[in-house]
Amino acid sequence: MQNSKKEGLSLLYDKYAGALYGVIFKVVQQQEAAEEVLQDTILKIWNNASKFDASKGTLPAWIVNIARNAAIDRIRLKKINTKTQELEPISNTLEQQALNPDVIGVKELTEKLNPEQKAIIDLIYFNGYTQSETAEALNIPVGTVKTRLRAAILKMREMFSLE
């Protein structure tokens, strides 16, 4: 039993480590931290396997969310520890993205989504902002957050279905 579990875990790692590591790195922006979060994520997936409900979504969607949440928790924790609880200014986030050439495929996408659309997706998806935090950071009403996000993701869906 123990052996077949190990094999399952190894399989999961081979298949998804790249996707998970990519998301985690995008959030924490630092190799050592990203590797630690990846390890936590792999364990979390394994120990919480019973919470996976195939009727509520696909396996990749579920595990990518676990990785993203673990990474976001990590940066929140770091922020509290360094007592800089203020939200990072948006310009910073955009700059970091521009300065991260290691990331594969991003350039292509950046060219297709406009900066405003990309900013809103990334603030929520990779920085874990809530709708009200996003509204505050971008200085727009909550209603606009919703409509702008909707438009951005529609654009994304259009791009992906073209492939």
User: What is the C-alpha separation between 74 and 34, in angstroms, rounded?
Assistant: 9
Residues 26-85 that bind other proteins (CB under 8 A): 26, 31, 34-35, 38-39, 42-43, 45-47, 49-52, 54, 57-61, 64-65, 68-69
Q: Which of 77, 116, 141, 146 binds other proteins (CB under 8 A)?
A: 146
Shortest Å distance, C-beta 128 to other proteins: 8
* Of residues 43 and 77, the one with the C-beta less far from other proteins: 43
Residues in 94-123 at the binding interface with other proteins, rule: CB under 8 A: 102-106, 108-109, 121
Helices (H), 29-114: 31-47, 59-81, 90-98, 106-112
Could you say whether residue 11 binds other proteins (CB under 8 A)?
Answer: yes
